[in-house]
Amino acid sequence: MSIKLVKEEIGRFISGTESEIFCISGKWGVGKTYSWNYFLKSAKDAERIGLKRYAYVSLFGLKSLNELKYALYEATKPVEKIGEDPEWEDFELKNTGETFLRRTRLVISRLSQLPIVQGYIGLTESILFYFVGKQLICIDDLERAGNGLDVMDVFGLISFLKEQRHCKVVLLLNKDEIDKEQRAVFDKQFEKVIDEDLQFSPTPQEAADIVFPQPEGIKKDLHRHCLTLGVINIRVIKKIEKIAFRLEEILKDKYADLLYQAIHSSTLFAWSKYQKDKEPPPFDFLTNISRLLGLFLDKEKATADDQRWKALMAEYKFGNVDDFDLVIYDAVQSGIFDKDVLLAAAEKQRQGVTKNKQEQVIHDTWDLYHGSFDDNESGVMDQIFKVSLENIKVISPSNLEGTISTLKEFDRKKEAAELIKKYIDERGSEKELFDLKNDHFSRNIKDPDILREFGKKRAEFVDNRNPADVLETMVMNRGWSLEDEELIDKLSTDDFYKIFKGEKGDRMHRVIRGALQLNRKESDASKELGSISERAVKALEKIAGESRLNARRVAAQGIKLKD
């Protein structure tokens, strides 16, 4: 049912005074509660609520009928207070013995611990429940009621509220999640008790309109982003909105020009995190679509989801994850928005390459590639090559591979080789670009020409760090980079011998541990001299052969020495 019809039916229900039981059913997160509260508040502001009192109760965790009865009493308030926090003054009992009843409830609560009065535990709830009547009531989360509160009991109570207490009751629930053991009872009682049942299933447009009815500022962007992604879970949209407001608060004063990217990316990341199904793409997919908007996914390995996500990201105009995005992603995942970290990332983004330019390159190519069925292969390939050359400074290694793959696929090997050479010539000073295995976004690159040329370039960089310092840091940080490993891989057995002999105390132990944990075997040095750890062991064996005391010392490092 459309939201327009749902709104009309809810309005009719709220404005009347005749006793009635109304149900709004839908999946978790689609916004049943949010929409009910929104339409209720609108009716209150327009003075179109037929009854004078209102109560909202969630059954989540309630374990008995008495708990429900008391919750209804406690939640009851004048309709004028809808949308406001409840206050004790709202209760009509203030001038009719409230103090007496409070004290009575306290006394009964304490007396109920005595065996002789165990049969009277529900007395307080029953007394207070007497004051519930002739009012509008919303009962939410029937499917999440606690053990002890059965479906039959709930239906019996709401039927009583309608027939005997002249109430209008709305039930908000997810039928699909009703306990299997109570399903038969639910279906039978539902048919008997419910006067009208509305299925709440908003479209993306309706969901966005509910949360952002008159969007301005970043809400206008959020409305558009959620609509493009097709988000229908209103609970998720509210989480997206909260994250966006936090980012706006941090960035608006100094980095307003980066706010659009922050909101655009965080909307996607939050949807991916909070929508617990296969609708949104996972983060791993997002880090790989930077290959020119995912055009170059292996066609044989691409799943139906891959193809769907690829098309959605093209429509959303999301081409890659950059360093600024990565900081935003970490904040969304952890829920911690470190102002200093975000501002530092924003400053780096502003000083370096802006994502907008990079994405414009990618999307121009995407539009050219997919924009028609013209026989224009030559023109498309020429444009891809031309655009890539002109924007070499803003293309990531993974984007580069996507371009190279396409050029090769369409027999443009000469252009592919020229583009790789141009890339290395123009960006040769950016050492981190060529460390592919240590970069989250580039580690999956497989093109042999890129791997070969990048490897040559990486080998040109001279690492002047002290190997002993690196080995100690590896242990203290409990990890190492490819650059660290390549430096240590240059050491011979004699080099390790000199390093170990030159160290003392705790540092010596850390340096040795660092060397022993490296087991690299694929390098040329490892193939010729043995793995790093094997060379380190040989150095320690040499030290052990110098004296009986050193033999004991080396054995204490876990090295098995030959007799």
Output the average pLDDT for the chain: 84
Confidence category of residue 128, pLDDT binned at 50, 70, 90 = confident
What share of the chain in percent tops pLDDT 90? 51
Bridge-based pairing of strands 53-58 and 77-78 is antiparallel
Taking 50 as the threshold, does the pLDDT of residue 216 lie above it? yes
Taking 60 as the threshold, does the pLDDT of residue 242 lie above it? yes
Q: Which residue has the higher pLDDT, 521 or 163?
A: 163
pLDDT score at 21:
96
Mean pLDDT of the region 134-153: 93
Taking 80 as the threshold, does the pLDDT of residue 81 lie above it? yes
pTM for the model stands at: 0.57
Q: For 301-340, how does the pLDDT look when each residue is reduced to its tens digit (9 = 90+)?
A: 678 888 888 889 889 988 778 889 999 999 999 999 999 9
Give one DSSP letter per residue of 453-485, joined into a string. Answer: HHHHHHHHS---S-HHHHHHHHHHHT---HHHH
d(CA 217, CA 343): 21
Taking 80 as the threshold, does the pLDDT of residue 458 lie above it? yes
φ, ψ of residue 20 to 5 degrees: the values are -165, 150
Q: For 504-539, how does the pLDDT look when each residue is reduced to its tens digit (9 = 90+)?
A: 999 999 999 999 988 765 555 556 657 889 999 999
Confidence category of residue 111, pLDDT binned at 50, 70, 90 = very low
- Of the ranges 22-31, 115-124, 542-551, the best mean pLDDT one: 542-551
Name which of 186-200, 213-227, 249-263, 526-540 the model is least confident about. 526-540
Confidence category of residue 355, pLDDT binned at 50, 70, 90 = low
423, 382 contact by CB (below 8 A): no
pLDDT score at 118:
44
pLDDT score at 396:
82
Mean pLDDT of the region 233-253: 95
User: Which strands make up the sheet holding 53-58, listed edge to edge?
Assistant: 77-78, 53-58, 136-140, 168-173, 20-25, 196-199
Q: Which residue has the higher pLDDT, 172 or 283?
A: 172
Q: What share of the chain is helix, strand, coil (3-state, %, to 5)?
A: 65, 5, 30
Mean pLDDT of the region 62-82: 91
pLDDT score at 357:
62
Q: Which residue has the higher pLDDT, 358 or 232?
A: 232
Full 3-state SS string of 200-246: CCCCHHHHHHHHCCCCCCHHHHHHHHHHHHCCCCHHHHHHHHHHHHH
pLDDT score at 439:
61
The burial of 407, by beta-carbon neighbours within 10 Å (0-12 exposed, 13-18 middle, 19 or more buried), is given as: buried
pLDDT score at 122:
53
pLDDT score at 530:
75
Mean pLDDT of the region 483-500: 90
Mean pLDDT of the region 205-229: 93
Q: Which residue has the higher pLDDT, 1 or 504?
A: 504
Confidence category of residue 37, pLDDT binned at 50, 70, 90 = very high
Taking 90 as the threshold, does the pLDDT of residue 414 lie above it? yes
d(CA 398, CA 409): 17
Tokens of residue 280, six digits = 């949104």
CB atoms within 10 A of CB 60: 12
φ, ψ of residue 171 to 5 degrees: the values are -110, 125
Mean pLDDT of the region 467-485: 87
Mean pLDDT of the region 100-122: 48
Give one DSSP letter per residue of 80-142, joined into a string. Answer: GGTTS---GGGSGGGGTTHHHHHHHHHHHHHHTTSGGGGGGTTHHHHHHHTT--SSEEEEE-G
Mean pLDDT of the region 384-401: 85
Confidence category of residue 113, pLDDT binned at 50, 70, 90 = very low
143, 174 contact by CB (below 8 A): yes
Name which of 41-55, 67-81, 112-126, 463-477 the model is least confident about. 112-126
Taking 60 as the threshold, does the pLDDT of residue 120 lie above it? no
Confidence category of residue 463, pLDDT binned at 50, 70, 90 = confident
The H or E element containing residue 21 is strand 20-25
Taking 70 as the threshold, does the pLDDT of residue 489 lie above it? yes
Tokens of residue 416, six digits = 């592919």
Q: Which residue has the higher pLDDT, 527 or 290?
A: 527
Nearest to 120 by CA among 129, 111, 128: 111
Mean pLDDT of the region 39-46: 93
Taking 60 as the threshold, does the pLDDT of residue 178 lie above it? yes
pLDDT score at 549:
95
**What are the C-alpha distances in Å from 96 to residues 79, 81, 102, 472, 491?**
20, 20, 12, 76, 89
Taking 90 as the threshold, does the pLDDT of residue 99 lie above it? no
pLDDT score at 311:
86
Query: What's the gap between Cα 31 and its chain centre?
Result: 19
pLDDT score at 434:
83
